[in-house]
């Protein structure tokens, strides 16, 4: 992602929106689905529209980007979606309750070895997710980055989790039924890049 320009109007819109969580800790509602790094909210808003019985929460660090998600939620008149503007780790520490599903979508791969501590599938983050996912809940990952996918598989395995679905060509797999694309996913797919996918759960 390139450097974002500060946009006062979009930033204000994002922070003042009724969709943006302002009071913490946030207590998750029932049937909670959390997307970490939701970007402009393309996937999350589409899922919320299709599944009104679920409650959707998106975490995104940049308010300027969240403004796009707010616009989508408003246009669809959604009542089952909320956004958190914060760094991932800080946001997770301010959430209470258990999610049914967590999505990690096109996370920054942090390719340099010294940045391993920032990767969202390292053991530190896997420990955080474990405390906020239901016993039978799933964590799903989509990425275009092959090295990050390989790292994630190894990290998840070493943590003792069970990978229950996996594909290095997600869109041509049976797991893509009812898939909703993120903006990045759509962009990569249009140029022929295969998408990696896996789903895992914590062993009881």
pLDDT for the residue numbered 1: 47
**Which alpha helices (H) appear in the chain, and where do they start and end?**
8-16, 42-50, 63-76, 88-93, 123-130, 146-159, 183-190
Parse the chain into domains and list their residue ranges.
Answer: 35-95, 122-204
- Provide the token pair at 62: 């940049």
Cite the annotated binding site by residue number.
35, 60, 87, 108, 112, 144, 182-185
d(CA 123, CA 170): 25
**Active-site residue, from 7, 86, 100, 108:** 108
Q: For the domain with range 122-204, which CATH number is right: 1.10.3720.10, 3.40.50.150, 3.40.50.300, 3.40.470.10?
A: 3.40.50.150
d(CA 101, CA 188): 24
- Provide the token pair at 100: 């049914």
pLDDT for the residue numbered 5: 67
Q: Which residues of the chain have pLDDT under 70?
A: 1-5
- Provide the token pair at 105: 């979508």
d(CA 152, CA 171): 19
Asked whether the beta carbons of 103 and 179 are under 8 A apart, the reply is no
Cite the annotated binding site for S-adenosyl-L-methionine by residue number.
35, 60, 87, 108
Cite the annotated binding site for substrate by residue number.
112, 144, 182-185
108 as an active site residue: the answer is yes
On the question of a cis peptide bond just before residue 25, with omega within 30 degrees of 0, the verdict is yes
Strands 133-143 and 99-105: parallel
Q: 183, exposed or middle or buried, with CB in 10 Å at 0-12, 13-18, 19+?
A: middle
pLDDT for the residue numbered 4: 60
pTM summary value: 0.95
pLDDT for the residue numbered 204: 83
């Amino acid at each position: 992602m390139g450097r974002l320009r500060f946009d006062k109007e979009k930033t204000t819109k994002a922070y003042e929106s009724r969709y943006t969580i302002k009071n913490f800790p946030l207590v998750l509602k029932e049937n909670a689905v959390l997307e970490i790094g939701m970007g402009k909210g393309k996937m999350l808003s589409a899922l919320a529209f299709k599944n009104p019985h679920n409650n959707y929460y998106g975490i995104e660090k940049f308010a300027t980007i969240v403004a796009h998600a707010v616009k989508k939620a408003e246009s669809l008149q959604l009542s089952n979606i909320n956004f958190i503007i914060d760094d991932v780790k800080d946001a997770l520490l301010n959430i209470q309750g258990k999610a049914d599903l967590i999505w990690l979508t096109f996370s920054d791969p942090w390719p340099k070895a010294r940045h391993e501590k920032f990767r969202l599938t390292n053991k530190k983050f896997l420990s955080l997710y474990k405390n906020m996912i239901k016993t039978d809940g799933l964590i799903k990952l989509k990425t275009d980055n092959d090295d990050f996918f390989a790292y994630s598989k190894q990290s998840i395995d070493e943590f003792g989790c069970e990978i229950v679905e996996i594909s290095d060509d997600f869109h041509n797999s049976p797991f893509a039924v009812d898939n909703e694309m993120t903006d990045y996913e759509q962009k990569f797919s249009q140029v022929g890049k295969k998408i990696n996918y896996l789903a895992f759960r914590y062993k009881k």
